[in-house]
Chain A
Amino acid sequence: DAGITQSPRHKVTETGTPVTLRCHQTENHRYMYWYRQDPGHGLRLIHYSYGVKDTDKGEVSDGYSVSRSKTEDFLLTLESATSSQTSVYFCAIKALGNSPLHFGNGTRLTVT
């Protein structure tokens, strides 16, 4: 299995609080991604990174920010959580060039 660890695995938080999800990889892959999965929408890209300190927005980036200060860590922050951000969040990694994408086990976030 690809070495990807997401933390926490589950989190319940209140509306308006900040939340940070962490993705850690041991594969030294260049690309890292954050997706959210909701019923009826499949997997939608939030943000991705193509290198340390190099990030770009995905299709559902509003309300989210990311940081990548080290190759192995990619953080997703919800500055002020809303109920619409209740979802399952997946981190994924990919090596440079033509290579497969591998996912972490996901974080289930509930915003009450």
Chain B
Amino acid sequence: GIQVEQSPPDLILQEGANSTLRCNFSDSVNNLQWFHQNPWGQLINLFYIPSGTKQNGRLSATTVATERYSLLYISSSQTTDSGVYFCAVETSGSRLTFGEGTQLTVNP
């Protein structure tokens, strides 16, 4: 099956710093999504982004489908950004496969 790799696995930032999270995938996909799991365990959909760039406040995402990667940018990080960030790729039959996530800690 398709392989999804996220990097870095762990990231520690000071409040106000910027960061870039990466998601690589091993085969062509129908679309890609980014999720944030907060410290209470809730999974929130951040972006649905099969290709191109989208922005939502301090977060933006870019997917280059032809090169099989996606990037999630977090600017001016806040402590509430802490948690785990997952990317998921959708293949045929609407199966979604997740990467193992990036654990982000933002310190005040």
Q: Do the two chains bind?
A: yes
Q: Which residues of A contact B50 (CB under 8 A)?
A: 98
Q: Which residues of B contact A102 (CB under 8 A)?
A: 45
Give per-residue flags for B54-79: 1 if the beta carbon is below 8 A from chain A beta carbons, else 0: 00000000000000000000000000
- Number of chain B interface residues as a range: 20 to 34
- Number of chain A interface residues as a range: 20 to 34
Judge whether B43 and A90 touch: CB under 8 Å.
yes
Any A CB within 8 A of the CB of B15: no
| Candidates A31, A58, A88, A94; contact of B41 at CB < 8 Å | A88
Any A CB within 8 A of the CB of B108: no
Q: Which residues of B contact A101 (CB under 8 A)?
A: 33, 35, 45, 88, 96
Q: Which residues of B contact A92 (CB under 8 A)?
A: 43, 96
Judge whether B45 and A100 touch: CB under 8 Å.
yes
Quick one: which of A43, A45, A99 has the most chain B CB within 10 A? A43
Judge whether B94 and A103 touch: CB under 8 Å.
no
Q: Please report B residues at the A interface, Cβ cutoff 8 Å.
A: 1, 30-31, 33, 35, 41-45, 48, 50, 86, 88, 93-101
